[in-house]
């Protein structure tokens, strides 16, 4: 591995893949939020005919010409895409499929045509299909680097406008920003980001470099600027890791390893991210279930009106099975909140008894709050977790509603019972 850092050529490759990761991470974030996840795939595939055409016209493999050709057909594909969705009844997913396969088909036809003819120097165009990072040389990386720099610069200059485009394009239009033009501008940036990655990652894998860092970053933050920075870091990291791995295991090619690295990061994030991750989500669900069960049991215990009760009475009152109630009681016995008596009855500790009645009372208060939801208060109903979260003034008010409501209910009951009695 140390050899890698002594070899100048390998360092160029490393720099190239890292830069590529950064620029596709940044641009991919906007594509992801604009819900253009598949766009990268379309743009990458439709770049192939452009590369072939550029070669056919100029007869050279100068990367600049190839990039211009690829950008041209990439833009053409994105224009076709928006025309199809705007002027026909075909939906976007169908249009994506149509445009992608048509352009890629044309690209493959041209590629075989070039390979079967006598160009002499045609060898190497097919590297755009699957990418060949090892073929990156100093000039390639210099071009990639400067274009990446311009892309990132443009994205940061237009950050505010691009954010508006991704969040609420119609509102942006009402403010006077040319949203159609901005959308095209974002598309142009995306095309260029895709095209500079083709040599390293290839037409087939480029899409994942664009979209995976962004969707990975989304797991870790709730702020757009942070998301873009994280996405760039993830892109860079996977570029580095993929390149180093492929130089250690020389038989594996770089592009696919980069994609595997970024996908691994995605899976780790999907599982382990603090708020949005699957593990965190299921932990929250388990906690919520335990809390709901506890509330049910507390309220039932409170309704039974006695600190000491039998298991069957509690199970009946709480509408939970005896096993469920018993499991809860076993937990609480360990913490000393419940004591089992010799006759098979259970007694709640004083502190928990207070907690139970608080829980029951909070439940009633919340009912009142929902009934009279226009109560004047500073706090928000969804922020209330326990009785002590209620400010005193609000509590007094809810209490008065509760008394009024309960007495009305009693009166109604009394009314019905007198009716039933035929009085």
Binding site for another protein (CB under 8 A): 33, 35, 157-161, 163-164, 166-168, 170-177, 218, 221-224, 226-227, 373-374, 378, 380, 382
Give the nearer residue to another protein in terms of CB position, either 168 or 409. Answer: 168
Give the nearer residue to another protein in terms of CB position, either 68 or 224. Answer: 224
| Spatial CB neighbours of 238, under 8 Å, sequence gap ≥ 6 | 21, 209, 213, 258, 259, 261, 262, 265
Give the nearer residue to another protein in terms of CB position, either 65 or 159. Answer: 159
Closest contact distance (angstroms) between CB of 171 and another protein is 6
| Spatial CB neighbours of 313, under 8 Å, sequence gap ≥ 6 | 304
Give the nearer residue to another protein in terms of CB position, either 218 or 332. Answer: 218
Cα 345 from Cα 350, distance rounded (Å): 16
Give the nearer residue to another protein in terms of CB position, either 159 or 353. Answer: 159
Cα 349 from Cα 332, distance rounded (Å): 10
Cα 120 from Cα 190, distance rounded (Å): 33
Give the nearer residue to another protein in terms of CB position, either 165 or 362. Answer: 165
* Residue 185, both tokens: 């501008």
- Contact criterion met (CB below 8 Å) for 346 and 379: no
Closest contact distance (angstroms) between CB of 408 and another protein is 20
DSSP annotation of 338 reads E
- Which is nearest to 231 in space by CA: 393, 79, 28, 423? 28
Q: What angle, 0 to 180 degrees and rounded to 10, lies between the N-to-C axes of helices 278-304 and 254-272?
A: 10
Closest contact distance (angstroms) between CB of 234 and another protein is 15
Closest contact distance (angstroms) between CB of 373 and another protein is 4
Closest contact distance (angstroms) between CB of 160 and another protein is 6
Closest contact distance (angstroms) between CB of 218 and another protein is 7
3-state DSSP helix/strand/coil % of the chain, to nearest 5: 80, 0, 20
Closest contact distance (angstroms) between CB of 304 and another protein is 35
Give the nearer residue to another protein in terms of CB position, either 109 or 150. Answer: 150
């Amino acid at each position: 591995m140390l050899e890698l850092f002594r070899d100048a050529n390998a360092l160029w490759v490393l720099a190239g893949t890292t830069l590529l990761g950064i620029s596709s991470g940044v641009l991919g974030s906007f594509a992801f939020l604009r819900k253009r996840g598949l766009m990268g795939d379309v743009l990458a595939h439709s770049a192939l005919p452009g590369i072939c055409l550029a070669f056919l016209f100029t007869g050279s493999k100068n990367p600049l010409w190839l990039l211009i050709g690829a950008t041209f057909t990439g833009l053409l594909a994105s224009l076709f895409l928006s025309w199809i969705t705007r002027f026909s009844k075909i939906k976007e997913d169908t249009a994506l499929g149509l445009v992608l396969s048509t352009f890629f088909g044309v690209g493959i036809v041209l590629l075989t045509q070039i390979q079967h003819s006598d160009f002499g120097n045609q060898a190497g165009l097919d590297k755009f299909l699957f990418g060949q990072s090892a073929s990156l040389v100093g000039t390639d990386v210099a071009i990639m680097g400067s274009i990446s720099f311009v892309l990132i610069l443009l994205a940061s200059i237009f950050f505010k406008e691009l954010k508006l485009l991704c969040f609420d394009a119609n509102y942006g239009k009402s403010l006077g920003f040319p949203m159609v033009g901005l959308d095209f501008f974002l598309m142009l940036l995306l095309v260029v980001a895709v095209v500079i990655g083709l040599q390293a990652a290839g037409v087939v894998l480029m899409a994942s470099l664009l979209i995976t860092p962004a969707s990975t970053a989304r797991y870790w933050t709730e702020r757009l600027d942070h998301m873009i920075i994280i996405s760039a870091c993830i892109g860079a990291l996977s570029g580095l890791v993929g390149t180093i791995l492929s130089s250690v295991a020389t038989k594996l090619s770089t592009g696919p390893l980069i994609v595997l690295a970024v996908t691994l990061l995605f899976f780790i994030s999907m599982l382990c991210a603090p708020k949005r991750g699957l593990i965190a989500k299921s932990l929250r669900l388990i906690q919520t279930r335990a809390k709901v069960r506890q509330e049910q049991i507390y309220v039932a215990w409170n309704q039974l009106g006695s600190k000491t009760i039998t298991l069957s009475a509690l199970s009946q009152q709480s509408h939970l099975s005896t096993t469920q109630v018993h499991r809860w009681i076993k937990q609480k016995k360990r913490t000393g909140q419940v004591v089992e008596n010799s006759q098979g009855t259970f007694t709640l500790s004083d502190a928990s008894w207070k907690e139970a009645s608080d829980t029951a009372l909070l439940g009633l208060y919340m009912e009142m709050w929902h009934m009279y939801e226009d109560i004047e208060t500073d706090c928000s109903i969804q922020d209330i977790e326990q009785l002590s979260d209620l400010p005193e003034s609000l509590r007094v008010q809810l209490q008065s509603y509760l008394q009024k409501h309960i007495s009305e209910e009693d009166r109604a009951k009394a009314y019905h019972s007198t009716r039933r009695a035929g009085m």
